[in-house]
Structures are given as C-alpha cells and as structure tokens.
C-alpha cells in the first residue's frame, strides 16, 4: 500500500512560524505595549516581566499599579488585552477580564464573591472557545486568565480613619486566590455532545492578577510624612521646560520618590495581601513633554479624535507645535488628572471650531480640494488666558 503524501501548502498560504513562548521576552513585550501606552516606560518594564513570568508558567507575576487618575492604569490593562489578541502565540492567555473591586464583595453579608470573578473569566473563555466548549477546555482556558481588578484602593481596610470590614474581606479573599487555590465552579459544558451542568475544579495558581487604583489620600499621607521635621527627608527639585523654551526650577513632590511599603499598610492595605505582588509599580505624573506626545500621537487623544471628526467635512485639522506645547503645559498644571486634563484644555479651543468651522477666519481652501484648519499658538494662548492661566 502506497503511503499518501500530503502536498506542501502553496507558498502564499504558508502559516507564519510560531515562536516559543520563552522567545517572546520582556523587551519584545515592552515594544508591543509601547504601541498604545505613552510616557510610562518604567512601569511597562515591570509589567512586561510580569507577563513573561505568566506566559512561560515559571512563577506568578502579580502587579499592583498605583497612579493618579489619567496616568494610564486602565490604558495599560486595555493594551495588555490588545497584545494578547494581536500576538498569535498568546492565544491560550486571551481569557482576560477587567472588573471593579467592589463587585467582588457582598456588602450585606460581608462575603467575598469569587463566583462573580470566575463568571467574567468564563464569558471571555467561551468567546474564545465557541458556544459549546468541553469542561476540560473551559477549565484550561480559565486557569490561564489574566485578572485585572480596578479601584482596589476603594477596598482598603481603613476608610476615613475607621475600620472597613468590606475591604478586609476582599483583600483576604483575593489573597487566597493569589496564593493558589482549587475552586469548585459550577457551570454548563459540552459532555458527550450535550450541554450539561458540571462542576469544574479551577486551580488559580497560574492566573495573573493585576490590581490598580488611584489611592486618593496616599499622596497627602506620604507628603506630610516627608515634610515632617523629624523625617530627615527633603523634597527634590526638578527642571521644568516651558512652551516658550525657558527652563524653571520647581521643588515638587512625586509619590514615586518617597513611597515605602509601610505607607501602604498605614493606608489600609493588608500586609499579607501586598506580599503576593511581585512589584508595586507607581505610574509617574505626566510631564509637559509626555502630555504633548500624547496629544499629538495617541490614537484616542482629543486632537486626533477631532481630526477624525473634521475629516467627515473634508477639513484637514492641524496644530502648531508651539500650540501643542502650550496646551500640554496648561494641562500639566493639573497633574492629579493626568492625560484627562488635555481634554479640558483642548476643549476650550476646539468646541467653537467643531460647532461651525466654516465661519473661522483661519479656514483655508486647498488647491487639491478640501480645506485646512490650523490650531495656532495664538489660539492656544487666548484659550489659556480666558481660563485665567
């Protein structure tokens, strides 16, 4: 009997050669994440190592992200999800969910509700596996999930100086999962061609946990510790580059320069819970240069959203480089809201233009067709002046 040989695939149909998981090292992961996250390279290095640990299955790679509103915590989480989708080798790890911390506790009964977390992971796993996965496939996919828990700071064990039992319950419940627990989870799965109720045992040992929060109050708590006469510490001076090219020296406080583990314990984070994180990563407040880069180059920046809006009217929206710097400098003054401040400042300029660009004196008709509208430095200065900047 002659063996039937399968012909090689046509050259145009060859599948790309997949890399081994250990070949996708932290530098490769970092470059992927930097496609969607600007200004947080130090934080992304820690996140890249954590993902590498998770995907190679060597050790846990849990991360705590701390940063003011608008510094990029949610953006980092969303870009991890994007990377899992874009990189073919990461298909087994695509069961990722982002969930708010307060959804994981029954406030009335003071009970941790892991089933809510597993339900969110299961929904994602089913979207990957199809409508009728078998119990083994469902379990295996869920066990490799990445769990992102937002607003973890709202679940501290101390709120307004008083004990917060809900926070203690949540932290202790998550601690158990992060240590590695086998959890019996009831669901439906395909068994012998039929959808049946089954109980699958999920081992949480290989899940990755990323927790994030703004930790409002931590900033002031650490600041007052540092400036206390008995602390022996001094605030650092920083060189600030202004939009007109000048440099001024400012003495300012940045949490990343002074935070100690004890500060988090004082804030209300349980020491045993914090010990399960490989790293506590502080996202730095965004400076003028980074805010300008975000304004000009981030896909979701207010400037680029407005560009897409004007394209509908066949108007090419542009911005003067100095104007972008002025907007970034004004946004930087409100460092506690990060990149979100760009929307507020840019909105002072763009709102009138979006309403009726055709009456604006700066609208220019192009020889090739369509129109061009440039946001100038004078427009930016007037907008800042109107707000008293």
- CATH number for the domain harbouring residue 159: 3.40.50.300
CATH of the domain at 376: 1.10.8.60
Residues 23, 120 share a domain:
yes
- DSSP notation for 24-81: S-HHHHHHHHTTT--S-HHHHHHHHHHHHHHHHTSS---EEEE--TTSSHHHHHHHHH
Instruction: Provide the β-strand partners of residue 66.
Output: 213, 282
pLDDT in tens, the chain (389 residues): 334 344 444 444 444 567 888 889 999 999 999 988 988 999 999 999 999 999 998 777 899 999 988 888 999 999 999 999 999 999 999 999 999 999 999 988 899 999 999 999 999 999 999 888 999 999 999 999 999 999 999 999 988 888 999 999 999 999 999 999 999 999 999 998 888 999 999 999 999 999 999 998 998 999 999 988 888 787 887 777 666 677 778 777 888 889 999 999 999 999 999 999 999 999 988 888 899 999 999 888 999 999 999 999 999 999 999 999 999 999 988 766 778 889 999 999 999 999 999 999 999 999 999 999 999 999 999 988 876 54
Q: Collapsing DSSP states into helix, strand and coil, what is residue 108?
A: coil
**Furthest-apart CA atoms within the chain: distance in Å:** 92
Whether 308 is in a domain gets the answer yes
Residues 255, 107 share a domain:
yes
Whether 10 is in a domain gets the answer no
pLDDT of residue 285: 83
Q: Collapsing DSSP states into helix, strand and coil, what is residue 211?
A: strand
pTM metric for this prediction: 0.81
CA distance readout (Å), 98 to 75, 125, 166, 194, 250: 11, 13, 20, 31, 38
Whether 170 is in a domain gets the answer yes
Cβ atoms within 10 Å of 201's Cβ, excluding its own: 11
pLDDT of residue 388: 56
Assess contact for 207 and 177: CB atoms under 8 A: yes
Whether 3 is in a domain gets the answer no
Residues 306, 266 share a domain:
no
**Chosen domain end from 282, 304, 335:** 282
Residues 294, 262 share a domain:
no
Whether 7 is in a domain gets the answer no
pLDDT of residue 276: 95
Residues 210, 148 share a domain:
yes
**Chosen domain end from 221, 255, 282:** 282
Residues 277, 303 share a domain:
no
Strands 208-213 and 63-66: parallel
Residues 82, 114 share a domain:
yes
Number of domains observed in the structure of the chain = 2
Domain span including residue 36: 19-282
pLDDT of residue 6: 41
Residues 358, 278 share a domain:
no
Residues 154, 169 share a domain:
yes
**Chosen domain end from 282, 301, 324:** 282
Cβ atoms within 10 Å of 272's Cβ, excluding its own: 11
Residues 244, 299 share a domain:
no
Residues 100, 81 share a domain:
yes
pLDDT of residue 9: 46
Could you give the CA distance from residue 177 to residue 174 in angstroms, rounded to a whole number? Answer: 5
């Amino acid at each position: 009997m002659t063996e039937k040989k399968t012909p090689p695939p046509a050259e145009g149909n060859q599948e790309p050669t997949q890399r081994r998981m250990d070949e996708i090292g932290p530098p490769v992961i970092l470059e992927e994440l930097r496609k969607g996250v600007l200004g947080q390279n130090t934080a992304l290095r820690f996140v890249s190592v954590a993902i590498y640990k998770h995907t190679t299955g060597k050790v846990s790679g849990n991360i705590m992200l701390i940063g003011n509103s608008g510094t990029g915590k949610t953006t980092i989480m969303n870009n991890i999800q994007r990377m899992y989708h874009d990189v073919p080798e990461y298909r087994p790890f695509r069961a990722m969910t982002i969930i708010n911390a307060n959804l994981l506790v029954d406030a009335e009964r003071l009970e941790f509700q892991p089933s809510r977390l597993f339900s969110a992971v299961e929904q994602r796993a089913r979207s990957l596996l199809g409508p009728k996965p078998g119990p083994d496939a469902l379990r295996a996919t869920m066990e490799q999930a990445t769990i992102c828990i937002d607003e973890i700071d709202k679940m501290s064990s101390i709120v307004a100086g008083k004990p917060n039992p809900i926070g203690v319950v949540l932290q202790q419940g998550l601690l158990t999962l992060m240590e590695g627990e086998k959890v019996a989870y009831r669901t439906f799965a395909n068994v012998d061609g039929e959808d049946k109720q089954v109980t699958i045992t999920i081992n949480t040992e290989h899940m990755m946990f990323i927790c994030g929060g703004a930790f409002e109050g931590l900033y002031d708590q650490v600041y007052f510790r540092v400036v206390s006469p008995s602390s022996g510490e001094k605030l650092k001076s920083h060189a600030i580059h202004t939009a007109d090219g000048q440099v001024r020296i400012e003495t300012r406080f940045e949490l990343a320069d002074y935070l100690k583990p004890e500060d988090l314990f004082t804030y209300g984070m349980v020491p045993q819970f914090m010990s399960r994180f490989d790293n506590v990563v502080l996202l730095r407040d965004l400076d003028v240069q980074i805010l300008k880069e975000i304004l000009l180059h981030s896909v979701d920046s207010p400037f680029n959203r407005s560009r897409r809006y004007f394209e509908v009217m066949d108007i090419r929206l542009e911005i003067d480089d100095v104007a972008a710097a002025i907007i970034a400098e004004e946004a930087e003054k409100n460092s506690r809201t990060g990149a979100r401040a760009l929307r507020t400042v840019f909105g002072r300029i763009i709102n009138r233009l979006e309403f009726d660009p055709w009456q604006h004196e700066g609208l220019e008709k192009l020889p090739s067709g369509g129109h061009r509208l440039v946001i100038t430095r004078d427009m930016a200065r007037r907008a800042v002046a109107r707000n008293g900047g």
